[in-house]
Structure 1
Amino acid sequence: MPKIKIKTHSGAKKRFSLTKTGKVKRAMTKKRHLLNGHGKTTKLKRALRGTTYADKTNEAAIKRMILYK
């Protein structure tokens, strides 16, 4: 029997990446599609452009979805 390769989750591969130390990097959230008006300060909107790391409780699930990345 040949080895079966597992498909990468197409949504996860667009949203997450791995660092060299094995952490999962993700984009900031907080309703990014509502950036005009809606009471958000310029400081907050600027901070939302950045990245952060996924929580350790979610890391294993995310790594299963992006096996070959």
Structure 2
Amino acid sequence: MLGNFYYSNPTKLYFGEDALQNLEVELQKYGDTVQLIYGGGSIKKSGLYDQIIEILIACGKTIVEDGGV
């Protein structure tokens, strides 16, 4: 038994063509390091990876990647 504990995992999702424009605003609410977890490669083929990395760098974030998940 793990004992008594409380777990909360609030999630905010943005949908639509302009959804990525909200990333910079959301990043301001969190720390300096971002863990980027992604799958096999479609994120890179679509160009989304490059867009996200560009925003993270512009916001001064340290990026920890875990690809191929």
Normalised by the length of structure 1, the TM-score is 0.21
More contact order relative to length (CA 8 Å, sep ≥ 6): 1
Normalised by the length of structure 2, the TM-score is 0.21
